[in-house]
Amino acid sequence: MGLFLLTFFLIYGGFHFYFFLKVRAAFAPGAAAQAILVALLILGLMAPIIVRASERYGFETLARLMSWTGYLWMAVLLLFVTASVLFELCRFLTYLTGLALRTDAGAFLPSARMLFFLPAAVALGMVLYGFFDARCIRSESLVIHSAKIPKEAGRIRIVQISDVHVGVLIRGDYLAGILRKVREAAPDLLVSTGDLVDGQGNDLAEAAAQFREIRPRYGKIAVTGNHEFYAGIDEAIAFTENAGFTVLRGEIATVAGAVDLAGVDDPGIHRSGFRGGPSDREVLSWAGGGRFTILLKHQPLVEKDAPGAFDLQLSGHTHGGQIFPFSLMTRLVFPFHAGNYRLTGGALLHVSRGTGTWGPPVRFLAPPEITIIDLMPE
């Protein structure tokens, strides 16, 4: 975790320094203006730390204010730097073309001020679109016919949510919109594949009450994600259970006498200083009776000897990258990035793009989803 934070602040600090250089090149501000700009950029850099500290010590108003401003700024800055690098590359290629053709390309080269305003406009436009798109929940459908589902059980509808990140930003009306979409799907069973909660010290009683209003006939089941351990596993489990979920941590639950659900802790438990539980294969071995078996696992990682021991794995964690073009990097880390993947042995893996957001309350080309899985008799 310490290495992650060091890497994050080195990269994020570099982005702030780049922004400072672009402002100075475009406007040549005086010493006083530069000092004010540096102070604001340091505040932006430290916003995530201020948010966490404010949450932990109960400064709710400060946490909300810094979350909205700090995380929206994060999205704007990341997209500004990306767009700016692309514009600089175009400028450099134009310059090289002029040299190759032995012509003066100066008239086609944008000024330093234009090289600030163009990426700024692109970044602001993308963030504005992504802010509203993050609240437009899509329903992804998956129909599975299996001889393991008895005819008398009929259709069993499972709705998957993942990476909701209930906390200082996702609560109240935002959470109500998510749960409205879940309610419209009319699930027989609701499952959460990790990162349900992301708050530290927040009063989440209202959010838990909102979840309790969802009462599928076969109940609600959840597994842990990495953020449950970051937020404090005891508090996260207490919230999840107060919200009406049964939390599976290396355990099996049987639904409708037809479906076994195997739930495992997030693999990041080891990096959080906790002792890990049994392997996926070991937990799956406890399922029996030839029932349809679903593995609930936060990260879309597949143990080499696990396929064949389950029929369906439901995961999340990647957010589908959340904000393009950063999805290109998350795709390199997680080959099972978003959508459906056929595994060896005939098993199916579905990776949710996630239902909420982490950090910036923005999604761009990675819309949020709930997943509707209909298990049908063959």
Summarize pLDDT for 100-146 with one digit per residue, the tens: 777 776 667 788 999 999 999 999 999 999 999 999 999 999 999 99
CB 191 within 8 A of CB 261: yes
Helix %, strand %, coil % of the chain (to 5) = 45, 20, 35
What CA–CA distance (Å, rounded) separates 148 from 76? 49
Q: Mean pLDDT, to the nearest integer, of 254-268? A: 92
Residue 176 pLDDT greater than 90, yes or no: yes
What pLDDT does 192 receive? 98
Instruction: Quote the CA–CA distance of 162 and 356 in Å, as a whole number.
Output: 8
CB atoms within 10 A of CB 272: 14
The answer to whether residue 378 scores a pLDDT higher than 90 is no
User: Is a pLDDT exceeding 60 seen at residue 375?
Assistant: yes
Averaged pLDDT for residues 178-193:
98
* Mean per-residue pLDDT over the chain, rounded: 92
pLDDT of residue 202: 61
Answer whether the bond into residue 325 is a cis peptide, omega within 30°: yes
Q: Mean pLDDT, to the nearest integer, of 224-231?
A: 89
Can you give the pTM of this predicted structure?
0.92
What local confidence, expressed as pLDDT, does residue 274 receive?
60
Structure token digits, residue 70: 């700090």
CB 229 within 8 A of CB 1: no
Sign of CA dihedral 178, 184, 185, 188: positive
Task: Pick the more confident residue, 274 or 308.
Answer: 308
Average pLDDT over residues 149-157: 94
pLDDT tens digits for 67-86? 999 999 999 999 999 999 99
User: What's the pLDDT score for residue 275?
Assistant: 61
Place of tokens 């290495």: 3
Min mean pLDDT across 28-32, 204-208, 230-234, 314-318 is at 230-234
**195: pLDDT strictly greater than 80:** yes
Region of 185 on the Ramachandran plot (φ > 0 left; ψ -120 to 50 alpha; else beta): alpha
Mean pLDDT, range 248-276, rounded to an integer: 83
User: What confidence score (pLDDT) does residue 99 get?
Assistant: 78
What integer is the mean pLDDT of 85-104?
84
Pairwise CA distance, residues 376 & 378, whole Å: 6
Give 108 or 159, the one with higher predicted confidence.
159
Find the helix or strand (DSSP H, E) in which 139 lies: strand 138-146
In this prediction, residue 100 carries a pLDDT of: 78
Length of the chain: 378
Q: 126-130, 156-160, 247-251, 303-307: which has the minimum mean pLDDT?
A: 303-307
CATH superfamily of 138-377: Metallo-dependent phosphatases (3.60.21.10)
Torsion of CA 36, 40, 46, 52, to 10 degrees: 130
Sketch the domain layout of the chain as residue ranges. Answer: 2-132, 138-377
pLDDT in tens, 279-297: 899 999 898 778 999 999 9
Strands 312-315 and 348-351: what pairing?
Answer: parallel
Predicted local confidence at residue 1, as pLDDT = 57
Q: State the pLDDT confidence band at 304, using cuts at 50, 70 and 90.
A: confident
Nearest to 185, CA basis, from 219, 161, 166, 159: 159
Looking at residue 141, what DSSP letter applies?
E
Q: In which band, very low, low, confident or very high, does the pLDDT at 362 lie, cut at 50, 70 and 90?
A: very high
Checking if the pLDDT of 250 tops 70, the result is yes
Name the band, by pLDDT with cuts 50, 70 and 90, for residue 276: low
Q: Is the pLDDT of residue 277 over 90?
A: no
Strands 339-342 and 348-351 come out as antiparallel
Q: How many CA atoms lie within 13 A of 26 on its CB side?
A: 16
Residue 274's contacts (CB-CB under 8 Å, 6 or more residues apart) are: 229, 233
Residue pair 266/248 in contact by the 8 Å Cβ criterion: no
Structure confidence at residue 271 (pLDDT): 56
Percent of the chain with pLDDT over 70: 95
Across 34-57, average pLDDT? 93
pLDDT of 106 reads: 65
Q: Which two tokens stand for residue 341?
A: 């993947």
pLDDT recorded at residue 55: 83
Type and span of the H or E element at 136: none
Is the model's pLDDT at 231 over the cut of 80? Answer: no
